[in-house]
Amino acid sequence: MKIRRPIIAGNWKMHRTLSEAENLVKGLLIELTDLSDTDVVLCPPFTSLAKVADLVAKTPVRVGAQDMYWEKEGAFTGEISATMLRDVFCRYVILGHSERRQYFGETNALVNRKAKAALAASLRPIVCVGETLDQREKQDFKGILRTQLRESLEGISVEEIEEAIVAYEPVWAIGTGRNATPAQAQEVHALLRATLTDMTGAKTAAKIRIQYGGSVKPANAAELLAQPDIDGALVGGASLDARAFAAIVKAAT
Ligand code: 13P
């Protein structure tokens, strides 16, 4: 058994209406049989959060949002606060996903404000980092990843940081069918854990879970999850298929 409890999260992105979400969750609950050793989190769009939370209420499955804003309330048209997410029984929130960074201009500083606000509201942030193909091929991508992690978690106390989850998602592996090899992923996960060790000390860093994301499928999940520093998966496309997602959860268990 792994030292850290595996955590598999499904990032539905901008997919599924309310009725489609209901069908997907019902299918999933039939497929997910043994959850005793694994944390499972579903991250539907905002519009389905309350419904999904209601459907999984009597199960160990937890619900997460895909983003949030850092202010508690106010004149911020279109935004959703941590309090609102807690109100619909969310326990997690994905922050700084590469799609938010790429299409909506999110920076490390902004992710940091959101992470602090999430933790203050007892929401567990899933903080995403990842390099683009250009960065991997032409730049000091390891330095870029270290900076993303440091700046996104800067100023967060050691006690709070243990509640956070880190997700390594190489941008070139997202939705492309081209996953990082287990060795490539492990190399970066070890680098991220070493960075966490510098930031928080070895004891805390050993407790923080680091998920891999990017074309995780039933066929590659077991090998990725067998790596010593890979503590779970953040699954996009395959999380929209009940059988495929359940098979990935099984690979972690
Ligand atoms: P895919 O699994 O579709 O590659 O998406 C990964 C991802 O971005 C999860 O957050």
- Residue 118 in contact with ligand 1 by CB distance below 6 A: no
Residues identified as active-site = 97, 169
74 Cα to the center of ligand 1, angstroms: 32
- For the entire predicted model, the pTM comes to 0.97
- Residue 174 in contact with ligand 1 by CB distance below 6 A: yes
Most ligand 1 atoms within 8 A of CB, residue of 13, 66, 224 to mutate:
13
- Residue 248 in contact with ligand 1 by CB distance below 6 A: no
| Highest CATH level, class, for 7-252 | alpha beta
Nearest-CA residue for ligand 1 atom 2 is 236
From first to last of its 253 residues, what are the pLDDT tens digits of the chain? 578 999 999 999 999 999 999 999 999 999 998 898 999 999 999 999 999 999 999 999 999 999 999 999 999 999 999 999 999 999 999 999 999 999 999 999 999 999 999 999 999 999 999 999 999 999 999 999 999 999 999 999 999 999 999 999 999 999 888 888 999 999 999 999 999 999 999 999 999 999 999 999 999 999 999 999 999 999 999 999 999 999 999 999 8
- Residue 215 in contact with ligand 1 by CB distance below 6 A: yes
11 Cα to the center of ligand 1, angstroms: 7
Tally Cβ neighbours within 10 Å of residue 175.
12
Reported as half-sphere exposure (CB side, CA atoms, 13 A), residue 48 has a value of 25
Tally Cβ neighbours within 10 Å of residue 158.
12
Nearest-CA residue for ligand 1 atom 9 is 236
Helix ranges, the chain (H): 18-31, 49-55, 82-87, 98-104, 108-120, 133-138, 141-153, 158-161, 182-200, 202-205, 218-225, 242-252
103 Cα to the center of ligand 1, angstroms: 15
98 Cα to the center of ligand 1, angstroms: 10
Most ligand 1 atoms within 8 A of CB, residue of 128, 216, 220, 240 to mutate:
216
